[in-house]
Amino acid sequence: MVVMQMFSPLLTSYRVMNHEFQNCYDGITCEDGSTVAFFERMNFLLVAVAKASINAVHLVRVSYSIMQHVVGPSLSMLKHSDTHSELTTLLIFTFLRLRQSSQPVMTESLHYEPISNEANVAILQVLHQAVEDLSLLAGVPESKAHILVIKETSIIAIYSGEGTPELKIAEILFLIIVANAFAQSNASTRNSLIILESCVPYTVHIQRIENGLNILVLIEAGLNGIANEIHSLLVSLTSSTSALDDIPKRISKVQKMARKLNQLHWCDTLNNWRAGYEQNQSAVSALARQVQFGYELICLSPALLFSAVEHVPGVIDRILASIPIGKLSQPCLLAPILQLYPGLVHFVLLDRTHHRMISPTLALERKDSTFDDMLQMFHTSLEWLNEGMYHLLWNDKQLCYSHTIWVEDHA
């Protein structure tokens, strides 16, 4: 209560500026350099307070993303579920810890462990067979399974069953944080329920191996349809710009799907909606809370953790017995890659003491686009260097580039 009283003037100012004057701001800076950041989604307002060394605006957005992955659109569950709130806290602290020590997490980009092509092909074949085993033994359709092999914060391999929605970069980064969070526990295995694709529940089975390796098996819980419908209904109810005329139709569709899951009691609670209620903000808010409860009941049920759980350990054991773990510690030589892709890596040395520059050259008669790509890369680097960016990673939708500047003194 004391905390709420302390932040009450700030929250009032934020809401007045946002709703009355449409002049929204996402943070303020205090005299001591600390920052307070705001982030509002689906009737939930998140507030982050951080020291000057931490970007509070970024932290509050990452925290919201982690909360979504834990409880989906029903953030109110964090108030009455110790299990979910403790998991969320663990994941946020793990993110802050990794941000100080892991380049992929700090830059929020994926880093693939450099392994030989032979080892990569062998691992993908093993994971392909594992997905088929899940289908045969546990009845898990190939379109509902992903398997990841992660080494600390780097990706060894990702395999998705045929027809499975591709994992987004943000989701893979979240899974890396999950694997590292559970690596601190004594147990070598862990089963948990997470939310991907904004609202779809997945069970994730994590097996920790030696040398920082983790195997993650993700299985979609089979609730894709109703999860998306509930999420869509919640977005309509909590959006200030959304038309509510089609609410009865959306409710009817959700009820029909919920009845197939024998959630009859919850279906009946949605019958209280009446024509004209869309003009009553309290009625809309009450319905939104009821829909959120339904999401918790259906999509966050602990019973989902038992789906195929008896078959997953056996599948993981077969993965461990088959993947060439020894070859994962062998470095991938850069020379063969540079022979295949000339111009992939360039070193430019500027020696101001002796007024020399050493830079790469490319054959102009090459018929591919390597020269143009590299020339564009240098121009882009120069533009950002003029802005003071000494470390940068970017892409042009086809290739990914980066530049890093080392400045050395005479010592």
Residue 81 CB neighbours (<10 A):
17
Closest CA to 151 of 176, 182, 178: 176
Q: List the alpha helices (DSSP H) in 300-332.
A: 312-322, 325-328
Element (H, E) at 120: helix 117-138
Tokens standing for residue 50: 């951080």
pLDDT tens for 266-282 read: 888 887 766 556 667 78
What pLDDT, in 10s, does the model give residues 200-256? Answer: 999 999 999 877 889 999 999 999 999 999 999 998 888 766 667 788 888 889 999
Is the pLDDT reported for residue 78 higher than 90?
yes
Task: Give residue 274's identity as a one-letter amino acid code.
Answer: R
List the alpha helices (DSSP H) in 21-55: none
pLDDT over 90 for what percent of the chain?
33
Segment 348-401, tens digit of pLDDT: 666 666 666 666 655 556 555 666 666 677 677 777 777 777 676 666 656 666
Residue tagged 């299985």 (tokens): 219
The three-state secondary structure class of 151 is: strand
Question: Which residues are bridge partners to 189 per DSSP?
Answer: 207
DSSP letter at 112 equals B
Res 111: pLDDT: 81
As a whole number of angstroms, the distance between CA 130 and CA 64 comes to 33
pLDDT (0 to 100) of residue 291: 92
* 148, 155 Cβ separation under 8 angstroms: yes
- Higher-confidence position of 347 and 134: 134
pTM greater than the 0.85 cutoff: no
